Structure 1
Amino acid sequence: MTPPHTMTVLGIVIGGTLALTWAVLGFWACAFVALFMLIGGLVGRVVDGRLDVTALVDAFRGKRSSS
């Protein structure tokens, strides 16, 4: 488990990155960067084994799980 201050620093870095992207390149570039940050986070969770892809796909399909 990561220390709480590490997550705070990560949040500051992510917020700063998005703010600079918006200021320098505009809204759509910022949205594009944010989308790929989200995708990268999801891929990282799958690789770490902290996200079950089949459960995620089932959730998007509207299937309920009993577990």
Structure 2
Amino acid sequence: MNRGIIGAAVGAVLALTWIVLGFWAFVFVAVAMFIGVVAGRAMDGHFDPRAFADAFRGRRSSS
């Protein structure tokens, strides 16, 4: 699948959650999706905590 399509689907799920269930349900769904992505990447062996922390802080490296 194209990453744009996946991003649109994720955005639609979060928007509908907010509209239908409210803000706190939206926050819960967003956190659950984030935990799922991290767990999936860790199981695949593609999760680097240091790179993730650097990206979260806005630090990127081209090397």
Normalised to the residue count of structure 1, the TM-score between the two structures is 0.70
Aligned to 1:19: 15
Identity value in percent: 46
Q: Displacement, 1:15? A: 0.1
Equivalent runs, 1:1-67 vs 2, <5 Å: 6-52=2-48, 56=49
Greater displacement, 5-14 / 27-36: 5-14
The unaligned stretches of length 5 or more in structure 1 are 61-67
User: Quick one: which amino acid aligns to residue 33 of structure 1?
Assistant: V
The unaligned stretches of length 5 or more in structure 2 are 54-63
Q: d(CA) in 1 for partners of 2:2 and 2:44? A: 18
Normalised to the residue count of structure 2, the TM-score between the two structures is 0.74
Aligned positions, number: 52
Give the root-mean-square deviation of aligned CA atoms.
2.0
Larger CA Rg, structure 1 vs 2: 1
